[in-house]
Structure 1
């Protein structure tokens, strides 16, 4: 049976949900092994060992791996790939940073952003902003894959019984250094894992109007807040709110699009949502083509009315 090494995304204290979808994808390829690389991250390895389907967890605890710098992590992964047939990472900013370096060091092609596993070496992935789905097959000796988290169910995080095995880290490659991070803190759910998302578009005019319109509805629903690229580019909200091809890919239970026309770039990031609700005064807006529920109305009248009913 093929052995698959999965990159565990974490903050040295707990693992991220994106890992669970990557495990589900990896389990369709063979025996699942995880790599927890960090500093003081033994608790993460113990947590990872409990994920359903995981056989082994490789724990690399080294100060040089604390901030998951790809230049330090990739050589370690390449060493471990001597005993594995495939490397799988979630298609997050960290995963997309690490996987190409691994592929380059192994001298293989990367299969990016897969939506399904069709065979031992065959996968589907989106192209043309998700308007077409390509079926690709790799002929390389080793597979390097990134997984779109919204396309796979999350593995059960508590029913597994994997073993933890310590491995030595490769140390500091001296190619990069961690300077700092500005992490936005919010009482609302994280955008990529929220069950309900309320997103606003350019029609909201400016930042204060966006906040006064979208935030109260999101708070009433216990929802995360998203935005279209146009709203972000206009400065209404920060970049980490952006949903779309160049933003975050989401698939909540309910996605509410307010004042968003539905450009291809935006649809690529949210069209897998279970239920899509759109409010727009333009009845010909493309968003209505993917919406399950559409309301043709002025958002400045409709949103307060909805809030008053909640």
Structure 2
């Protein structure tokens, strides 16, 4: 079981990447070191949005399928198998697989792992938090979301963190409106998180998504004005994905992080809990619509 004597995560054994049938189209970056530079727009027309919504629906249903299997004794690699097979059954490609060399089909980040956790032989235990991040690629479009789940009986502190991170995402989504600057999203999230002494992870942000897995558009979850002053426009599609951390008792909001040698998994330096929620949204004439609902 890949944990140290204090119960903190350590790298586990990563199994082989799962196969995808040739009949399922791949994103352009599969088999390459990285994606080609995206030269398109972050705004989409109605037909394109419908395709992003279809991909997002599959991704959301895959998260639900994985969530149904979360319990003590299950490994994160077993969760990867469930998510992978669900996507294939719906003729969708798991966008994470092969993205800049990522070896698995979903991300599973446990407890102090902030994001980008690689599924391995880590065994989930009673009281854990596991973040499940799944992106589906179908008909030329990506739909991306993440949700945090408690494993078995969890402590009140962990349950509060999960529910407050979910609410932080909701507040970020509600702040979206045409004509506003994109930094309003992070302002809404950080002001809420500060009420509880939580830290907001700054190194990882939301992003434009659709034809590209990551378009280059940056959506901060902290108060970033005036550094991120992109004006929100109808038809824009991007993710909002706050990552909140409890931080140390001596210094609430501590967010220093360490990256493992795998080049992906990021953990809090103080090894305290984090949670993440994410949706892909489209900007409408009056606000926004979530595209990653089951």
Taking structure 1 as the reference length, the TM-score comes to 0.25
Higher RCO (CA-CA < 8 Å; seq separation 6+):
2
**Which structure's residues are more often helix, by fraction?**
1
Instruction: Please identify the structure whose Cα radius of gyration is greater.
Output: 1
